[in-house]
Structure 1
Amino acid sequence: MERAIQRAANDLQRIIGTLAQRHLPRRSPPSALTWRWLIELEEQAFSDLGFQSRHDTGIIDSFLRLRNSRLSGPNIDDAVDWRRDDDDLPAVYLIVRAMMEAKATAEA
């Protein structure tokens, strides 16, 4: 079971990375990204037919999702707060934040 979860996590990271690279504003600062953008990215990743067919529904449902959290607050058009360090953060949040941190490090 643990191995299946790890495979799904790696697959999700690849899918989110591909989608984010395609849609991430190249020159925009991270503060310009909105919760709406992140929620849409999450929806695209989790609705990927390949992802759904490769992994059991129970494993897919085990991932924390933005749609099930109050992380974004009442206005999804607000900028994403990338400084959150809560114990349980949605996968899409963690993956995109790690991508942006890696990009910032590479550009420094």
Structure 2
Amino acid sequence: MNDLTTEHADRELAARRFKTAARDLEHIVRNIAARYIVQQVPLTWRLLQAIEAEALADLGFASRHDAIMLGLFQRPSDLPYPETDEAVDFGTSTALPAVFAFAVSAYEEAAKRTAAQTSTEPAPLKHARAWGD
């Protein structure tokens, strides 16, 4: 019985550690993506992979989590993506490496905010003209 309790506690701890690492990585990726979003740089395959490389090389992230945890966020080497300047398009796929998913989500949210801002901005005021002008 004690082994089951210990095993359950170990799984709970591992799940909490994973969630903490995922939130940490998401925060890092969103900060990196925000730099490009502010500059209105479109999300291309090449940029997505640069964001991934920068996020996974973050020294703070590496120092806060052990090597096994870091390995869980590495994209498998047999999962290649284009290295082009074409816009990123995953179609309907929802199976994305974590960094890719976080970056795409940041870009999608920024696009929604921009669309919402442009649709709620009041129309420019029309200057009244006197009759006959």
TM-score, normalization by structure 1: 0.79
* Other-structure match for 2:86: 78
Q: Could you list the per-position Cα deviations for residues 49-94 of structure 1 after superposition, in whole angstroms to 9, with x for gaps in the alignment?
A: 1100100111111125276522x23x433321143414x3111221
Aligned to 2:20: 7
Match in the other structure for 1:51: 61
CA separation of 1:21 and 1:68: change in aligned 2, threshold 3 A = farther
Q: Which residue of 2 aligns with 1:93?
A: 100
Paired position in structure 2 for 1:34: 44
Residues in 2 aligned to 1:104 and 1:63: alpha-carbon distance in whole angstroms: 26
Residue type at the aligned position of 2:18: I
Which 5+ residue runs of structure 2 have no aligned equivalent? 1-13, 117-133
Return the TM-score normalized by structure 2. 0.66
Larger radius of gyration: 2
Of 16-25 and 46-55, the range deviating more from structure 2: 16-25
- Of 104, 109, 112, 1:105 maps to 112
Count residues with an aligned counterpart. 102
Larger RCO (alpha carbons 8 Å, 6+ apart) = 1
Q: Does 1:60 align with 2:70?
A: yes
How far apart are residue 25 of structure 1 and its match?
Answer: 5.4
CA contact (8 A) 1:34 1:77 kept: yes
Alignment partner, residue 69 of structure 1: 79
Cα separation, partners in 2 of 1:103 and 1:10, compared to 1, 3 Å: same
SS in 1 for 2:91: coil
Amino acid at match of 2:86: D
Q: Does 2:31 match 1:18? A: yes
The answer (yes or no) to whether the contact 1:16–1:42 under 8 Å persists in 2 is yes
CA spacing shift, 1:68–1:8, aligned 2, 3 Å: farther
List alignment gaps of at least 5 residues for structure 1.
Answer: none
State the superposition RMSD in angstroms.
2.1
